[in-house]
A and B are shown apart, each in its own frame.
Chain A
Amino acid sequence: MTDPTRLTAHELTDAFRSGAATPSAVTEAYLGRIAKLDGKVRAYLTVTDGRARAAAAASDARYRAGKPLGPLDGVPISYKDVLSTRGVKTTCGSRILESWVPPFDATVVTRLAAAGVVPLGKSNMDEFAMGSSTEHSAFQLTANPWDLARVPGGSSGGPAAAVAGDLAAISLGTDTGGSIRQPGAFCGIVGMKPTYGRVSRYGLVAFASSLDQIGPFAKDVRDAALVLRAIAGVDPADATSVDVPVPDYAASLGEGMRGLRVGVLEYDTAGMDPDVQRAVTAAIDVLKGLGATTQAVTLPTADHGLAAYYIIAPAEASSNLARYDGVKYGLRALGKDLIDMESRTRAAGFGAEVKRRIMLGTYALSSGYYDAYYGKAQKVRTLIRRDFDAAFEHVDVIVGPTTPGVAFKHGEKEDPLAMYLNDVFTVPANLSGNPGISVPCGFSTSDLPIGLHLVGRAFDEATILRVAYAYEQATTWRTRRPELA
């Protein structure tokens, strides 16, 4: 058979069921590939080969007994290093948690373990998920498998590069302002942010609690649907998770485009890469050709989304990161007294971007400034939610570009503001809570992947998956793969 690391998760489990492959053999293929090629990509911070082999062996036995756990049994996965894994380091890409080993698993990790996945390891990220290039990791630069001189996007650059570089079949990332969809677009794979509240955040080390959401990276839409189904659903340990039934997403993928109303996002093209515009316009034509009706959609308040986001996210981050003080766990620097120890610990443990956001957030929450900043940003957030609600009265899905440009070179965007602009199309769905997915829709003239962004109604992931699937099946982008070796 072909190299199993090229297969999707559903192709792998088909092979496991037919006996054409075994989880252990596929796991060995992945571990071998990681050993050989991850030195170039640097997607992984920790490779859990022992755990992977044990899980694969258990999966082998289930297939032999004819009792696999489901459509992900035996599939090798990588977890962004912000997801807590019992007994395995969870660094969040930060010096301050360099040796942190959680005594518990995140709910998503527990659920996927129950689905039989094989955990290959923990993948790189911008420190505490703050960034759009994974360059803010305290440990290593991750390369984009399409061009090793370029970034994979971020903050979930590690898990995105792992799937794009065939270093994992599937992976989980987190998306606070675009951190799954943007690296998904940059790496030419499917990346999905579910509705806020759809997936439990228990065990996800918080960046901005009201925006963070866990979601899948996958080689195709069907895999994303399978992973979402496995991790979604209310969790008593997360009070913000919502008790909405989880449908069989994969089962409804083939329902096609007929009757669906597609809203075409009108956006400011200033600063846009023309290749991206062209690809998105062509993708919309494909959707029309599949039977969708289209109409223009505007989100009038979305222009203020980025500004609101850069108040709310740092404010919550400044609070969430207050606990890293050297007292209980993580890094501890020596100091002459308690305050000195805490100050030195935080000075040594956090990188520049994290410090910048802690400062921003602390300021935004300060007495006397709260109403002008945090209060106002929350109002913008309400307005953006209304914009989406109004749009979804007329359309079933909103389509646009995932990012203004394609993957940039390491070190190219040193100005924080230029970096923040990467999130301009993705941030509104975080503020409103709506689900979004990025699906590959072509390549730039420099052969770099471009992502099509689909946003749906809250808790209606089924529709955006269905549209993404119809588009994917009507095009051949997914057959083009980066060559690492």
Chain B
Amino acid sequence: MTWEVVIGLEVHAELTTRTKMFCGCPTTFGASPNTQTCPICLGMPGTLPVINRRAIEFGVRTALAFNCRINTACRFARKHYYYPDMPKNFQISQYEEPLAEDGWLEIDVQGGTKRIGIQRLHMEEDVGKLIHDGTLETAPSSRVDFNRAGVPLMETVSKPELRSPEEAAAYLRAFRSVLMYLGVCDGNMEEGSMRCDANISLRRPGATELGTKVEIKNLNSFRNAQRALEFEVKRQAQALEAGEKIVQETRLFDADKGYTRSMRSKEYAHDYRYFPEPDLVPLKLEGAFVDGIRAALPELARAQQQRFVAQYGLPAYDAGILTQSRALAGYYEAAVSALAPGGSTASPASAKAVANWIMSELLRVVPGDDERAIAESPVPPAHLAGLIALIDDGTISGKIAKDVFEKMVRSREDARTIVQREGLTQVADTGAIAAIVDQVIAANPKAIADFKAGKTAAAKSLVGQVMKATQGKANPAIVNTLIEEKLAKV
């Protein structure tokens, strides 16, 4: 039997504002427990929240990038449930009047692109963390760390328009790219900066009603999201085919064991008792405020990829790799423009050469989606451009250049410094090379004989011998020409 898969995703993203959503505490990850707290984020009696303007800016920026309608009058609401990691036993969130609604995000699917609807985007505060002495079930005691409590969190809910686990993973990749390009989230799923819950159901192809959905929590990587959903598709299909009903419930993905298990069923669903947060007045977003953010939106990955193809003549594949992060794309463009000094346009050849060097060498050393690693790359864009310039002007060969690159990574020096100190300059003196060519030909009568007998490969071995004799420093083009000339005369 065939089933249509229906998936909707809820993504929580921690915003990279310097301070928390409703107080002035820092948001830095990894500090000692309860050192980044104050009476407000600890929910002490008598404290009041004050909205972080920067967090709202980040939310609006993201909503605009997702093509959402911004609600010019939105408000916060209290969401109640008891859990010791939540200081007030309610979370300040948004309910009926979210920051933004009705947008879309374009994702890559096989053979093209697809728009996935975004239902809503709202702001809330994160909760703290429980640290159990052992496992949750067996711990004799647990501690609470409130450092994370109050960190700005942005929840984005997609429409149920994803049709496969692969599409869900593609959505998460595109989502993360947008957030990171906007600079609103570091996208680090391992540290929990981006967390994903999925709603999934199956139905007959062509059916208009949705099937009973199951919510899966704890999807902490693209891969785990896809694995969990793949498991769930199989589980639900088997159940339906066996004539069973799907139970509406929340399931947890166990990444180690590779399956989802039931966490709570709908009978235990919370009644969150939402009501408008009386300590905050409704937020009125002025048109000028939103317009200002709109005007300052950066170019996003998909647009940048298309521009790289058009502007630099790169293959779409290369452009895709180079736009995996704003930092890498920025690195690329900085290196290309360093190769075309004085505002001139880089040649397609050097633009492609930079792309090749980044893809084959730089990305071995620096992860392409790690903004900080790229910013602190041992080989900055100007150094990479300098290296390529040395190849272009014949100072070093491409082969030597790879060794020079390794040395640049280790020493953080520029290419010219290394080449000069180590005498790696390519020998382009035709006279000097000719003398070596003569020696090599004289020392290899067999190769000459082979060549005469029609074995043209013999010429290559002679070139190799010349290069070896010059420790790779001879200009390969000159060596080729000289060998060809000499052999023609033999």
Contacts and interface: CB of A to CB of B under 8 A. Distances in A.
**Does B associate with A?**
yes
A370 interface: yes
A100 B44 CA distance: 10
Interface stretch (B85-93, B310-318, B404-412): B85-93
A202 B47 contact: yes
A111 to B, nearest CB: 15
B401 interface: no
Interface of A: prevailing SS:
loop
Nearest to B277: A209
B100 to A, nearest CB: 21
Q: Which of A315, A339, A342, A367 has the most CB of B within 10 A?
A: A367
B84 A325 contact: yes
A322 B90 contact: yes
Contacts of A102: 39, 44-46
B281 A319 contact: no
A201 B274 CA distance: 23
Given A366-B273, A367-B273, A319 B280 contact: no
A240 B280 CA distance: 6
B48 A323 contact: no
A374 interface: yes
A392 B378 CA distance: 73
A84 B48 contact: no
Nearest to B270: A367
Given A209-B279, A239-B279, A322-B80, A100 B89 contact: no
Interface in A333-372: 338-339, 342, 362, 365-367, 370
Interface string B83-119: 0100111100000000000000000000000000000
A480 interface: no
A342 B47 CA distance: 22
A8 to B, nearest CB: 29
A206 B275 contact: no
Nearest to B23: A237
A202 B49 CA distance: 9
A106 B46 contact: yes
Contacts of B42: 328
Contacts of A201: 48
Contact of B84 (A104, A204, A315, A338): A338
A209 B278 contact: yes
Contacts of B279: 206, 209, 239-240
B286 interface: no
B459 interface: no
Interface residues of B, number: 30
Given A201-B48, A202-B47, A204-B46, A365 B275 contact: yes
A319 B80 contact: yes
Contacts of B29: none
Contacts of A203: 46-47
Nearest to B51: A239
Nearest to B22: A239
Contact of B82 (A106, A325, A365): A325
Contacts of A204: 46
B144 interface: yes
B273 A323 contact: no
Interface in A199-228: 201-206, 208-210
B33 interface: no
A327 interface: yes
A323 B51 CA distance: 20
Contacts of A92: 45
Contact of B275 (A240, A315, A322, A339): A315
B273 A328 contact: no
B273 A206 contact: no
B88 A322 contact: yes
Given A239-B279, A239-B281, A327-B84, A319 B273 contact: yes
Contacts of A205: 45-46
A103 B80 CA distance: 26
B78 interface: yes
Given A102-B44, A240-B280, A322 B49 contact: no
A319 B47 CA distance: 14
B271 interface: yes
Nearest to A236: B50
Contact of B89 (A97, A206, A237, A322): A322
A23 to B, nearest CB: 28
Interface string A28-47: 00000000000000000000
21 contacts: A100-B45, A102-B45, A104-B46, A204-B46, A206-B46, A209-B278, A209-B279, A238-B48, A240-B48, A315-B275, A318-B273, A319-B80, A319-B273, A322-B82, A323-B88, A325-B84, A327-B144, A328-B42, A329-B44, A365-B80, A370-B274
Given A240-B280, A240-B281, A362-B273, 8 more contacts: A84-B46, A100-B45, A209-B278, A209-B279, A239-B51, A319-B80, A322-B89, A327-B84
Interface of B: 39, 42-51, 78, 80, 82, 84, 87-90, 142, 144, 271-275, 278-281
Nearest 4 A/B pairs, CB to CB: A322-B89, A209-B278, A210-B278, A365-B273
